[in-house]
Structures are given as structure tokens and as C-alpha cells.
Homo-oligomer: A and B are copies of this chain.
């Protein structure tokens, strides 16, 4: 009986749970090949033109339609990494309907393609002990709502053991979500791998939802200090002193990281901004009358750092930020690498930061 039942289940494996969903067997897309080429396919018999756009391309590429109405393109020789991409169908940008992996974001809808390459990258699922990512609801008094945040606990984490952990607060970019650092940035896997290699110490990583629209972004500092940190300290075995607390973030989240970190040097020993906003001229103006006790700050911060790519549209402004801090005598580290304002770079920035924390 069981075998036949299994056979029926096999036949039905492609059955969708929704009646409106197409029942035809969909094409494989993306299909990543051993030579690091990838084939992208999109079914649109009536479309006039379909392009592929993706962060592994300099510019969007026209796809070709076959007799069955499937548009296809093969992209050769992609540098191993995880990239956002989408199709532009008669001017409308759509995610790949045959790809489960979606770029977690509030606005644009990109899919993700994982070109693994022959050597596992720092963000790959490797044969190492894995931490957990827990989705928590918490009450925010600052924002008067219930919000979600994600908590990475490292392999071997035991909520009741005597051991207490340092904490990194990790902030997404503007219009990203609390899931972007794990689903796009692979933060949990990067931590798993670096901890397994003993390059990073076991730590807890807290990934809040940082968009406070329509309330001002200003509220995010209150949210971190008055709601998120107390929630984590009430619910996890964490070290609560300044040397064991870090903050890092990307883009608007890099600006938030600077705001929170600079406003609270008594609370954060590590502050890492990845291609941070805000734009520099205004930032310099703000800081024109800022007269930090640089010597004190330099003692308080174990790490104050900037990471940016030379093709990032915030490269010039980040350089100017760094000059300003230099003029004021605030020490910092910098990581200047190729690449743009991308999550490929974010993964690199995080993998570079984690080994510097809590040592």
C-alpha cells in the first residue's frame, strides 16, 4: 500500500496548494552550472521584450524567446557569490517566479542566485555546528507597537548555562527588513563558519527591524537603547557592559549605527559603519560644531570602522566622513574594497568585522 501511495504522492509533488497557480511544470530558473555560468528562464509567451537585470551584470541583458514562449539567457563565468536579479518584462520588473529565494526588502522584489563555486565561501552552509535564528515578538514602548526582531544564538548556546555572551546589534539598510541580514547577508552562516574556525568568538547577534517610518528615524536610537537592549538583556544570558556590546549596519543602517554608536560611547565598544548614510556635506555641517573628547572616545571604542566599495555611490561621501573624523582626532579603521553598494560587499564587511569583536 505504502509504495503505491508514495508513487501517487510523487506524481503530485508539483501540485500547488493554490488553485490559481499554474499547473504546467515550470522551467528551472535559475540553473547554476558547474562552470559558474547560470541560465535564467521566464515564461511569457505574449511579452514583447524581456531583460535580465542583476548585480553580476554591468547592464541589463535581453533574453531570447523560444517557440514555447520561454525567455532564456545564459550568463557565463559569474564570480561566485549570492546576487540579486530580476526580470524586466515589457518594462515591469518582476522577481523570478520559479525561484524561492527572494531578496527580503519592503520595496523592490529581487530574486537571489547563489553561484557557489568550487570552494565554499565564508557564507556557505558548511559542515560545521550551526547556530539558531529565532524570530521574537517584543513590545516597543518607544514606538507603541509589537515588533519582530531576529536573534542569532551561536552553536552550543545554552540559555541556562553560566556562560554569558557578548552581543552585536546588526542593522539592515533602508527599506530592507529584519530578515535581510540572514536571508541576503547570510549573517548566521558567516558567524557559524568563523566561530567554527575560531576566527570569531561565540556571540549573540540581534537583527532588529530598523525602519521607523512613518515615525522619524530618530526614534531608532530610543528603540535600541530603551527597548531592544533591555529586551535582549531580559531574555538572553548576555554580558551587559560596554566592552561586550557592538553595533554595525549598512547604508541607512550604517547611518543609524553611527548615530547610536556616537550618541552612546558608554554603551558600545565597537561601531562599524558599512557604506553609511547620511550624505557627507550635511554630515560635515552637523559635525562642524561637534568637539568630541577624541582621546576619551579613542579609549572607549575598541573598534570604530568604515567599510565601503570603490564603486559604491557612497564611496566619496564615506571618504569625506573618514577625513572629518581624522581631523577631529577620532581614530578609525577602514576597509576599502572593489564593488558597489551591494550585499555581496556587506557579507565581506561582516566577515571582516566579526573576527575583530570582543577580543
Interface residues of A (CB under 8 A from B): 1-10, 12-22, 26, 44, 46-47, 53, 55, 84, 89-95, 97-98, 100, 102, 105-110, 125, 130, 132-137, 146, 158-160, 172-177, 180, 182, 211-213, 216-218, 220-221, 250-253, 255-256, 259, 263, 277-279, 282-283, 285-287, 289-290, 313, 340-343
User: Within the complex, which residue of B17, B89, B289, B342 is in contact with A175, where a contact is CB–CB below 8 Å?
Assistant: B17
- Bound-complex Cα distance A22 to B175 (A): 11
- Bound-complex Cα distance A135 to B178 (A): 14
Q: A10-B216, A17-B174, A135-B182 are in contact. List 11 more A-B contacts (CB 8 A).
A: A5-B255, A8-B286, A9-B216, A9-B217, A16-B173, A17-B250, A17-B252, A18-B342, A20-B108, A89-B92, A132-B135
Known A-B contacts A106-B100, A107-B26, A158-B160; A9 and B92 likewise in contact (beta carbons under 8 Å): no
Contact present for A172 and B17 (CB under 8 Å): yes
Contact present for B1 and A287 (CB under 8 Å): yes
Contact present for B134 and A133 (CB under 8 Å): yes
Contact present for B19 and A340 (CB under 8 Å): yes
Known A-B contacts A252-B12, A279-B8; A108 and B1 likewise in contact (beta carbons under 8 Å): no
Q: Sorted from nearest, which 6 A-B pairs have the closest CB atoms?
A: A17-B173, A6-B218, A9-B217, A160-B160, A8-B278, A130-B137
Contact present for A132 and B125 (CB under 8 Å): no
Contact present for B174 and A15 (CB under 8 Å): yes
User: Within the complex, which residue of B26, B146, B217, B282 is in contact with A125, where a contact is CB–CB below 8 Å?
Assistant: B146
| Most chain B beta-carbon neighbours within 10 Å: one of A2, A250, A340 | A2
- Bound-complex Cα distance A212 to B6 (A): 12
How many copies of the shown chain assemble into the complex? 2
Contact present for B213 and A13 (CB under 8 Å): yes
Contact present for B175 and A278 (CB under 8 Å): no
The interface residues of chain B lying within 8 Å CB-to-CB of A341 are 17-19
Contact present for A16 and B107 (CB under 8 Å): yes
16 A-B contacts (beta carbon < 8 Å): A1-B286, A2-B221, A4-B285, A8-B255, A9-B252, A10-B217, A12-B277, A13-B174, A15-B174, A19-B341, A21-B105, A22-B107, A92-B92, A92-B94, A95-B95, A133-B135
User: Within the complex, which residue of B90, B97, B158, B259 is in contact with A9, where a contact is CB–CB below 8 Å?
Assistant: B259
Contact present for B283 and A216 (CB under 8 Å): no
The interface residues of chain B lying within 8 Å CB-to-CB of A218 are 2-3, 6-7, 9-10
- Bound-complex Cα distance A40 to B216 (A): 25
